[in-house]
Amino acid sequence: MAIASQLLKHKGRVIHSVAPDAPVLEAIRLMAEHGVGALLVMSGEQLVGVVSERDYARKVILKGRASNDTPVRQIMSSPVLTVQADQSVHDCMRIMSEKRIRHLPVVDASGVIGVLSIGDLVRAVLEEQQRTIADLEQYIHS
């Protein structure tokens, strides 16, 4: 069974973030520029929240706020759910399903080491299932 740090090794450990006092418009620009649906909200090295396209749609657009005048801290999701680097993919998927979130920061003793998306986890589970099927087919044919 794969663990979070193994997925990050394959995916990469690039962390896209924004400051809590940055305007929401900056966060949206960064998400578009990097092709991601969420950013970590970092105050220095400290993780203080996550801001997503969903937060933007529900807390800015639907409430008629101005993207340039609203700071990220007013729409971010906080406190942040995180997982340890050694947690299994199944644990990560369970947490995401139960808490209805799509992005999960991965931490170790040094701090945040990456972010897993629901897509990353689904891909990992599908790959694991394909390996299991191939192993079973080989066993049956031998």
Mean pLDDT for the chain? 92
pLDDT the model gives residue 86: 95
pLDDT tens per residue across span 19-69: 999 999 999 999 999 999 999 999 999 999 999 999 999 999 888 888 889
Residue with tokens 């299932």: 129
pLDDT of residue 87: 95
Question: What is the model's pLDDT at position 136?
Answer: 85
> So what's the pLDDT on residue 84?
96
**Residue 135's pLDDT is what?**
81
Q: Determine if residue 111 is left, alpha or beta; phi over 0 gives left, psi from -120 to 50 gives alpha, anything else beta.
A: left
Instruction: State the pTM of this model.
Output: 0.85
Position 137 confidence tier, pLDDT thresholds 50, 70, 90: confident
Select the CATH number that applies to the domain covering 4-141 from these four: 3.10.580.10, 2.40.160.40, 3.40.50.170, 3.90.105.10.
3.10.580.10
In the 8-state DSSP scheme, what is residue 28? H
What is the pLDDT confidence band of residue 106, given thresholds at 50, 70 and 90? very high
Which stretches of 29-93 are assigned E, i.e. beta strand? 38-43, 46-52, 83-84
Domain extents in the chain = 4-141
